[in-house]
Structure 1
């Protein structure tokens, strides 16, 4: 019998077992295996065939339970592990690292106003991330993983950061630009800054359609850098007409139009 993976006893109410559906002969398949829909061909040249099995689960609290098939699995699956009893534990041991290698899409970062903002002004920054799902094969087993965004760390590009925080922030109307938000930032210098947000995703996984199990730790995924240009603002009383004097203060051709 295969118990729940180490470390997840308190979160998984089930215990697991598998039922071999036929015997693999040394030189091929017996008649029982040939009649099955699943084909457990060797995964590598010269390798051994897998063993067709039906995974089952039952409540841990019951000593001699009636086992139930994992119906969402859609049929038998193949075991290739030399010690089938250890397959769930082996998946549990590597799942945290495999989770971090998934092509999870990081949050999209938006700046208001942007891409230009003003020195000394509250600049609203927010992230938009989505829950994502992946289906992979680990140790010959079908594993379904789900990644949920749960925390954000903002690096504003000027040496300051905020987080980790559960707040993703959000869009505000144009007439609210310059007001403080939970994730806004004040740039104290002019210049170009590369802003990023690192999103922490919490993961769960299930093997062959079984119940979802938590993945230890969060996967951290950084967004592409968002370029923010910080300008200064000045107020002067002028009488120049930019059509008549293109080099007048604050006209496009003047020094006063620079950041």
Structure 2
């Protein structure tokens, strides 16, 4: 089987021994496959284009993949080949994948020393494409829109007190959003996505709002209801109001167990609105002694 990497043909079946040792020529001269997501969106056309020189993304690292059994720029370890990770086709009549080792280095360093990338899924992984660097670029170009279409669960919205609260008092309104993980298939590759809540926009239903804010808020003990919090609101009128929250999620993705890379942009997901009824309180003073006159006005047994 021939594997094309960066346009250079690798033919493990042809054991051209180098210098009498246990290496065979790989025909691979470029020291790995650059897979850093160096693409940006053109503000005029909306299309993805190669990033300009010295462009800096959110990720401080750069990554590349090397053949699992590669020992230098143009040789493979013949003894390693029988123990390579198997990358069988994922679809009928599909092509086998390429076993690779991911490498990482600081992006700011020229000609860096590359080290093995470590994660919860350390070790060799598979890339499925005749030109693995091409499929990674294509995934990078579409990952933002795919992220926004994921079935991400929005935050749960709660008000205290609820469903009734008081005019002129602090109503504690807060969101409960959690990090979520997804495993999807894009262009034949296994892609792991992590969505993390980062910001919230609250709409209180009376024309007032809060956010974007990083504060999700949180519950209060019942004895502390009415106290001001970072996300609470005071209603100045009585009536029924629809409260809502929109949560902004930021994501990362990895391809076939490779390094985590930031997803450009964010996704916003709205929670179902809830009704809160705002009442007014009335205070009256009574002169009756309920012990002497249990049926007096304002007494438990009175009218």
TM-score between both structures, scaled by the size of structure 2? 0.65
Question: What's 2:272 paired with?
Answer: 224
- 1:99 paired to 2:147: yes
Question: What's 1:27 paired with?
Answer: none
Question: What's 2:256 paired with?
Answer: 208
Question: What's 1:116 paired with?
Answer: 164
Residue in structure 2 matching 1:160, options 181, 192, 208: 208
Q: Alpha carbons of 1:98 and 1:18: their partners in 2 closer, same or farther (altered >3 Å)?
A: farther
2:197 is paired with a residue of what secondary structure? strand
The CA deviation at 1:19 is 4.0
Residue in structure 2 matching 1:15, options 48, 63, 67: 63
1:51 is paired with a residue of what secondary structure? coil
Residue in structure 2 matching 1:147, options 192, 195, 202: 195
CA RMSD of aligned residues (A): 3.1
1:35-61 deviations in Å (ceiling 9; x for gaps): 984431546xxxx52232113333365
Alpha-carbon distance in structure 2 between the residues aligned to 1:108 and 1:169: 12
Contact between 1:73 and 1:208, CA under 8 Å: does it hold in 2?
no
Q: How many residues align?
A: 229
Alpha-carbon distance in structure 2 between the residues aligned to 1:220 and 1:121: 30
Residue in structure 2 matching 1:4, options 26, 36, 49: 36
The CA deviation at 1:3 is 3.3
Give the structure with higher Rg (CA): 2
Structure 2: stretches of 5+ with no match in the other structure: 1-32, 40-54, 70-80, 287-296
- Larger RCO (CA within 8 A; separation ≥ 6): 1
TM-score between both structures, scaled by the size of structure 1? 0.75
2:150 is paired with a residue of what secondary structure? coil
Contact between 1:55 and 1:70, CA under 8 Å: does it hold in 2?
no
Question: What's 1:39 paired with?
Answer: 88
1:60-93 deviations in Å (ceiling 9; x for gaps): 657497785888277653525x754311111111
Contact between 1:56 and 1:67, CA under 8 Å: does it hold in 2?
no
